[in-house]
Amino acid sequence: MKRILSFLALTAMILSVSCKKNDDPKKPDDKKDEEKEYVAPITLDGDFSDWAKLDASKTASCTLKAADTWAYPEIKSAKVYADELFVFVYMEFNTAVLSPESGSHFALYINGDGNTATGGYNGQWDQGETPCIDVLVMGTYFDPDAGGWIKDLDCEVYAWNGEPNTDGWSWGDVEVADFAQGKCTNKGMEFALSRDLYPAGTFAEEFSIGFQLQTNGWDATGALPNAEPSDDNPSGKAPLLTVKVNK
């Protein structure tokens, strides 16, 4: 699997990619030496203000519905922006109810290949008869013994190793440096995932993702997306959030 520059290094410099030389003599050649620069749309620094500057039409997002009745209300909103190199993720805490304690964890559940025939685990989402989460990124975001909020998140990565389209907790450790980087404050968290380092095949042009907070021995306390309860859906479960890559 190809290694690319980690996001933390990327935030300190600009990755430059040379444009192709113009070999057509009929077309102007005055830009043949011009370089095309990749500028990260999000700076991974715990300052979430740059998320508001993104084009909303190019950003997948979800917000908490039915906060008074949803069983997992600790996430207020979530956003995802994906480009040719990275998937950027933002989770905003619902500070009105969030009560972190020892063993408070975050989790990103990713159907990165976009295939409903692979992966598993139902979680807090409506995935029908084909639960299809391939990759789990998780870690601790609050620990009183470590000073409280953990600014630089240690992102552990797991791949589904159970039977396809089954539920349960069947995850295997994945050793993949630099796939996931994360920052945290008492307001929320942001992440950058390297598409080239996706540990379960190819990160598709269209994929889906779910967001979760956990505490008390891995009990879910926050989950998005969710839906307004109805007669047909009294639990308020929703599908995973669909994300399309911006080109």
Q: What is the pLDDT of residues 172-188, one digit of tens each?
A: 999 898 999 999 999 99
- Encode pLDDT of 83-127 as tens digits: 999 999 999 999 999 989 888 999 999 999 999 999 999 999 999
Query: Which run of H or of E encompasses 170?
Result: none
Beta strands in 49-199 (DSSP E): 60-63, 75-82, 86-93, 104-111, 135-143, 148-149, 152-153, 156-160, 171-173, 180-184, 188-194
Beta strands in 19-100 (DSSP E): 35-38, 60-63, 75-82, 86-93
Residues ≥6 apart with Cβ < 8 Å to 108: 89, 136, 137, 138, 180, 191, 209, 210, 211, 212
Q: What pLDDT does residue 218 have?
A: 83
Contact call for residues 223 and 123 (beta carbons, < 8 A): yes
Residues ≥6 apart with Cβ < 8 Å to 113: 119, 134, 200, 201, 202, 203, 204, 207
Of 177 and 74, which is predicted with more confidence? 74
User: Would the pLDDT of 200 be above 90?
Assistant: yes
Q: What pLDDT does residue 25 have?
A: 45
How high is the mean pLDDT of the chain?
88
Strands 180-184 and 171-173: unpaired
Taking residues 76-83, report their average pLDDT: 98
Contact call for residues 20 and 32 (beta carbons, < 8 A): no
User: Would the pLDDT of 13 be above 90?
Assistant: no
Q: What pLDDT does residue 183 have?
A: 98
User: What single-letter amino acid sits at 218?
Assistant: W
Helix locations, 101-224, DSSP H: none
Of 46, 71, 50, 68, give the one whose Cα is nearest residue 59: 50
Contact call for residues 202 and 96 (beta carbons, < 8 A): no
pTM of the model: 0.87
Taking residues 146-173, report their average pLDDT: 96
- Name the 3-class secondary structure at 146: helix
Q: Rounded to an integer, what distance in angstroms lies between the CA atom of residue 210 and that of residue 224?
A: 6
